[in-house]
Amino acid sequence: MNTKTRNFYNTFFIIVLLNFACSHASWAEDITKTTQDQPTTPATQSETQQSKIRIEPNPQQSLLIDLSRIQNNQNAEVIQLNTDSDKFDAFYKESSGAITHGGVIILPDDRTHPKWPLITNPLRVGLTDFGWSTLAIALPPPVTPNHPIRTLPSLKVIKNKPLQSEGEPVEPTALDESIATPAIAKESKTTDSPIPQTYNNIMQRGTAAIQALQQKGINRIVLIGTGTGATWAAALAAKWQDQANFKLIIINAEQSSDISAPALLELIPELTLTTLDMYSANPKSASTTQKQQPRQRIETARRNQLNNYHQSRLPKITNKLPGQEWLVRYTRGLLTTYVINAEEKVINTPPAPPPSTNQQPGARKKQTPI
* Distance from the Cα of residue 310 to its chain's centroid: 25
107 falls within a domain: yes
Residue 72 lies in a domain: yes
User: What phi-psi label fits residue 4: left (phi over 0), alpha (psi between -120 and 50 degrees) or beta?
Assistant: alpha
The whole-number pLDDT of residue 165 equals 54
| pLDDT digit string, tens, across residues 85-137 | 888 989 999 998 888 999 999 999 999 989 899 999 999 999 999 999 999 99
CATH of the domain at 97: 3.40.50.1820
**25 located within any domain:** no
Helix (H, G, I), strand (E, B) or coil at 263: coil
Distance between CA atoms of 125 and 248, rounded to whole angstroms?
19
The structural domain count of the chain equals: 1
Q: CA-to-CA distance for 202 and 205, rounded, in angstroms?
A: 5
Calculate the alpha carbon distances from 87 to 61, 79, 81, 211, 219 in Å.
12, 10, 6, 15, 24
What are the E-state strand segments in the chain? 77-82, 87-93, 102-107, 132-137, 220-226, 245-251, 275-280, 309-314
Residues 312-339 as b/e (b if ≥16 CB within 10 A, e otherwise) read: eebeeebbeeebbeebbebbbeebeebb
Below-50 pLDDT ranges, the chain: 31, 35, 73, 75, 174-175, 177-194, 370
Distance, in Å, from the CA atom of 120 to the CA atom of 331, rounded to the nearest integer, reads 12
Residue 142, amino acid: P
Partner residues linked to 147 by β-bridges: none
Evaluate whether residue 162 is within a structural domain.
Answer: no
In a domain, 319, yes or no: yes
**What is the separation, in whole angstroms, between the first and last Cα of the chain?**
149
**CA-CA distances (angstroms) from residue 130 to 76, 99, 100, 330?**
18, 9, 8, 12
The per-residue pLDDT for 193 is 44
Coil, strand or helix at 313: strand
In a domain, 262, yes or no: yes
Instruction: Give the structural domain span for 78.
Output: 59-142+197-347
Sign of the four-CA dihedral 71, 73, 79, 81: positive
pLDDT of residue 19: 65
SS3 230: helix
Would you state the pLDDT for residue 179? 46
Q: What value, to the nearest 5°, has the Cα angle with vertex 308 and ends 94 and 207?
A: 40
- The amino acid present at 233, given as its one-letter code, is A
Phi-psi region of 217 (alpha: psi -120 to 50; beta: other; left: phi over 0): left
The answer to whether position 190 is within a domain reads no
Q: What is the DSSP letter of 216?
A: T
- Three-state SS for 115? coil
Residue 340 falls within a domain, yes or no? yes
